[in-house]
Copies of this chain bind each other. A is one copy, B any other.
Amino acid sequence: MSLKVTLADIARKLNTTAATVSRALNGDPSISEKMKQKIRDTARRMHYKPNKIASSLRRGHSGIIGVIIPSAEINFFGSVVHGIETLANTNGYNVLIYQSNELQETEVKGIETFLSARVDGILVSIAKETTDYSHFTAAKDSGIPIIFFDRSKDKIGIHSVVIDDFKGAYLATSHLIGQGYKRIAHISGPQHLAIFKNRLKGYQKALKDAGIPIQEEYIIKGNVSVESGRSATAQLLQLKKKPDAVFAVEDFTALGVIKELKEHHVRIPEDFGVIGFANESFGEYITPALSTMDQQTVEMGKHSFELLMKLMNNEISGHKEQKSCWNPCLYCGNQACVRKQ
């Protein structure tokens, strides 16, 4: 029942003032060791819990950074958040997570909530359904450091941390080519999101560089879901000239491909190659195991937080949008990042 022990309570007991107690507890060097000891002891005995609300109000910052993710049920994001937390915690920040559930409306609410909570910075991975970005630019204009990770939007003046999706897709496609597949299809994602657009481009470039003509009928628009992988595959299998491999824009789509192929009794990888782009851990669980591009999620989280911290500390400008391709293996072209069971 001692929830409301305050600095003043401690001060009273010790015949000193709240200011002194505050300083002692915050390790201010101007306070004598003896006094500090005494104060720390009684604070502990009285079960004092600092009231961060009051502290934040006074200091003008909250020590919280907000992260908006589309869904915690996508392993990929859980893992990135883990990376964010690791670094945030060692830097004295706490992380507040908000799920947009892939909805623009909820995403807007998330931004508002964070603004009201006076978080010190915001990290966001854009919802699939979001097509208007004014809540982000408004937040930025109001002065709060904000950075996109993974799902980003170019040319609206907000920094982003992404892997080199173009190169990743290029490598994934090249991987299939290297395995001897000749007619490689691609199931893409919503083209208004940069990551999906760049993966399509990487796919096309890889084919071109290998001297394989690009067939429009081999490029199917998907929407990042198991179902869209299935229907796209069904569609591909009806073509006169069927493809013999698919590069799926992400793992859920790839899973749909595999499910559909199985129903048609197409053998993987003998008759048909499949590669995804990692966002799920189930890749290693399904049979046949899914080849996929590793995204080093934890690293992505750490890098995102680092960039955000620089922004919060004014170490980098918020003005000219900068894109941070952090993934060493994708960046340097090391093929090791093709993860295959």
Distance in Å from the Cβ of A120 to the closest Cβ of chain B? 11
Q: Which residues A245-303 have CB closer than 8 A to chain B? A: 255, 262, 281-282, 285-287
Q: How long is the Cα–Cα vector from A91 to B82 in the complex, in angstroms? A: 28
Give the residue of B51, B56, B72, B286 whose beta carbon is less than 8 angstroms from that of A82. Answer: B72
Closest chain B residue to A89, Cβ basis? B109
Q: How far is the CA of A86 from the CA of B113 in the complex (A)?
A: 15
Q: Given the known inter-chain contacts A78-B71, A82-B72, A85-B99, please indicate yes or no for A49 contacting B112, CB distance below 8 A.
A: yes
Residue from the list B64, B74, B113, B142 in contact with A1, Cβ < 8 A: B142
Check B94 against A113 for contact (C-beta < 8 Å).
yes
Number of copies of chain A assembled together: 2
- Min CB distance A188 to B, Å, is 22
Query: How distant is A69 from chain B, measured CB to nearest CB, in Å?
Result: 9
Do residues A1 and B141 form an inter-chain contact, with CB atoms below 8 A? yes
In the assembly, what is the distance between CA of A57 and CA of B103, in Å? 31
Q: How far is the CA of A281 from the CA of B252 in the complex (A)?
A: 12
A50-75 CB contacts (< 8 Å) to partner B: 50-54, 56-57, 62, 64, 71-75
Question: Which bucket holds chain A's interface residue count?
Answer: 35 or more
Residues of A in contact with B (beta carbons under 8 Å apart): 1-3, 47, 49-54, 56-57, 62, 64, 71-75, 77-79, 81-82, 85, 89, 94-99, 101, 109, 112-113, 115-118, 138, 141-144, 255, 262, 281-282, 285-287
Q: How far is the CB of A290 from chain B (nearest CB, A)?
A: 9
In the complex, the answer to whether A51 meets B118 with C-beta atoms within 8 Å is yes
> Which of chain B's residues have a CB closer than 8 A to the CB of A75?
73, 75
Query: Can you give 5 A-B contacts (C-beta < 8 A)?
Result: A2-B142, A52-B116, A53-B53, A94-B98, A96-B97
**A255 contacts across to B, CB distance below 8 A:** 285
Which B-chain residue is minimally distant from A116 (CB atoms)?
Answer: B52
Q: Which residues of B are found within 8 Å of A109, using beta-carbon distances? A: 89
Q: With A and B bound together, what is the CA distance between A10 and B253 in angstroms?
A: 51
CA distance A255 to B285 in the complex (A): 8
- For the complex, give the distance between the alpha carbons of A52 and B62 in Å: 11
Most B Cβ at <10 Å: residue of A79, A81, A97, A262: A97
List of B residues within 8 angstroms of A50 by Cβ = 116
A52 near B118: Cβ-Cβ < 8 Å: yes
Contact of A142 among B49, B82, B97 (CB under 8 A): B49
For A81, the closest partner residue in chain B by CB is B72
- 3 interchain residue pairs of minimum CB distance: A72-B78, A73-B78, A3-B143
Query: Does B62 lie within 8 Å of A82, measured CB to CB?
Result: no
Contact of A73 among B89, B142, B281, B287 (CB under 8 A): B281
Q: Which residues of B contact A79 (CB under 8 A)?
A: 73
Residue of B nearest to A282 (CB): B282
| Distance between A212 CB and nearest chain B CB, rounded to angstroms | 31
Complex Cα distance A66/B46, Å? Answer: 24
Closest chain B residue to A64, Cβ basis:
B117
Cα A285 to Cα B276 with chains together (Å): 15
